[in-house]
Amino acid sequence: MTFLDKDYRQIITKAVIGKGRKFTQDSHSITPSHRPSSILGCWVINHLYNAKQKSEDTVEITGSYDINVWYSYNDNTKTEVVTERVTYTDIIPLSIKDENMLSDECDVLAKVVQQPNCLECKITNKGHKIVVEVEREFVVQVIGETKLFVKVDPKWSYDHDDHDDDDSWDYKVTDDELESVKPDFLNKKD
């Protein structure tokens, strides 16, 4: 197919020109104000993120979330919640790309498939630190201008008899209409 082939038309439109998906597991080390005896609970909340195209092949997501760990200390006689704000950067490779992209200006849509979630929370470093394992997953779409080629039906033609446009309607004057015409209306003076 050539660019000027009479059986094809080229359409320029916005479309999804790239897709990617990434699952990530991170470990975060938290230092509580007291030496923990045991972990009572862990929550990941307040997730915020922003996505932008990093290169032709990748999308970068930068984000943050709060990790809240409820722990006991002083031989399990007291409790406290420690909160730490964590930032991250995920580089997501585009597994599907359109090579007919026309412009470098693209929009990026990112959707969280798996919100940041605590997988495991444990006491480490001889009881002075808490390590939290967190998982998250994103899918991204890059939207930009691309070219489509569509085949024109060679059997279809613009024939007036096949269409309901004004030119194809029958506007014949009936005998009743002719009888009501007054031929001297132009010469009549009021």
pLDDT per residue over 156-171, tens digit each? Answer: 665 545 555 555 556 6
Cα separation values, 177 from 82, 166, 182, 187, Å: 93, 20, 11, 20
Q: Is the entire prediction scored with pTM above 0.95?
A: no
E runs forming strands in 74-165:
78-97, 107-124, 129-151
Beta bridge partners of 14: 145
Percent of the chain with pLDDT over 90: 54
Q: Which residue has the tokens 């932008």?
A: 52
Please, are residues 67 and 30 in contact by the beta-carbon 8 Å criterion? yes
- The predicted pLDDT at position 11 comes to 86
* CA–CA distance, 110 with 139 (Å, rounded to integer): 6
